[in-house]
Amino acid sequence: MPVMTIAVTAATGHVGSRVTRLLVQAGVRPLVLVRDPSKLDSELRGLVDVAQGDLTDAGFVSSATKGAEALLWIVPEDFTAADPLAGMTLIGEHGAAAVSANGIGRVVLISSVGAERRRGAGLIDGLARNEELLTGTGADVLVLRCGYFFTNLLNDLDSLRAGTLTTTMTPDVPLPWTDPRDIGDVAAARLLSPHWSGPVVQAVHGPEDLSWSDVARVVGEAIGRDVSLTVLGDDDLRSALGGAGLPPALIEGIVGMTAGIRDGFTPEQPRSYVTTTPTTLRAWAWANLRPLV
């Protein structure tokens, strides 16, 4: 049986690195598209083919994916860009052009809950646009609509050390929360499986829905201290982000992500055996936050 060539973007990130490891362990030699190969594990470098470049470069994306039969498409967020939403759309255009030009038959796209709304959810709109562009190629495309990443809490280490957690979300509205490692497991399984065709959407909801009040309690128990929840208004967040020097388009993209899914949001797919993944926030926080906090 011929060996499949699988290309992986963002191979040094939380999801991409997990997928790359699983593909290697499955006997596949993946092609990884990375900006900085030095971030790859030294033991991994001899087990993968490396293409160095940026997804904002259309020529790079097209040439790097030539010969690939399957593609893991992860859209990086650039928090230094003046207009990150436009940048995410541009990356989607490059990915779709490469899929069409190179005849890539199967694509797994990492997206987010809220992208089904298509408009009005800040930077999530960039993922929605990537969904539209890639499914428009006619390739078999699987969209993984993922819950809120546990790893986003790593951005709040200083406040957690001080016993606080800050959000603009309604504190008692539950949302799906997910371990990126589990997302990687689902993505790798789908990339290796011949038993699906697309376009198709599959949610990745984690083991349970959690409100931000739940998250503060669970994280507090894991790190061994009381964690109080602070809820900011959108304008307060705008002021804080502006004070940190972020450009206006980026500020609105960040504010819009929570504003777009804040109240009464129901994911397109209900929780089921297929959409539920195993790692609990409690277990993840004990293993990943407790040593750091």
Residue 99, phi then psi, degrees to nearest 5: -60, -45
CA-nearest of 38, 31, 115, 36 to 66 is: 31
For 87, counting Cβ atoms within 10 Å of its Cβ (0-12 exposed, 13-18 middle, 19+ buried), the class is buried
Tokens linked to 149: 């990443």
Give the 3-state DSSP-derived string for the chain, with helices as H, strands as E and coil as C: CCCCCEEEECCCCHHHHHHHHHHHHCCCCCEEEECCHHHCCCCCHHHCEEEECCCCCHHHHHHHCCCCCEEEECCCCCCCCCCHHHHHHHHHHHHHHHHHHHCCCEEEEEEECCHHHCCCCCCHHHHHHHHHHHHCCCCEEEEEEECEEHHHHHHHHHHHHCCEEEECCCCCCCEEEECHHHHHHHHHHHHHCCCCCCCEEEEECCCCEECHHHHHHHHHHHHCCCCEEEECCHHHHHHHHHHCCCCHHHHHHHHHHHHHCCCCCCCCCCCCCCCCCCCCHHHHHHHHCCCCC
- The predicted pLDDT at position 3 comes to 55
**pTM for this predicted structure:** 0.91
Q: Which CATH superfamily is domain 6-148+178-204 in?
A: NAD(P)-binding Rossmann-like Domain (3.40.50.720)
Query: Going residue by residue through the chain (293 aa), what tens digit of pLDDT does each one get?
Result: 455 799 999 999 999 999 999 999 999 999 999 999 999 988 898 999 999 999 999 999 999 999 999 999 999 877 777 788 888 999 999 999 999 999 999 999 999 988 888 887 778 888 999 999 999 999 999 999 999 999 999 988 999 999 999 888 889 988 999 999 999 999 999 999 999 998 999 999 999 999 999 999 999 999 999 999 988 888 878 888 788 778 787 877 777 777 777 755 677 888 899 999 999 999 999 999 999 98
Domain ranges of the chain: 6-148+178-204
**Pairing outcome for strands 70-73 and 49-52:** unpaired
CA-nearest of 9, 25, 79, 14 to 288 is: 14
CA 92 to CA 65: how far, in whole Å? 14
| Contact (CB, 8 A) for 281 and 189 | no
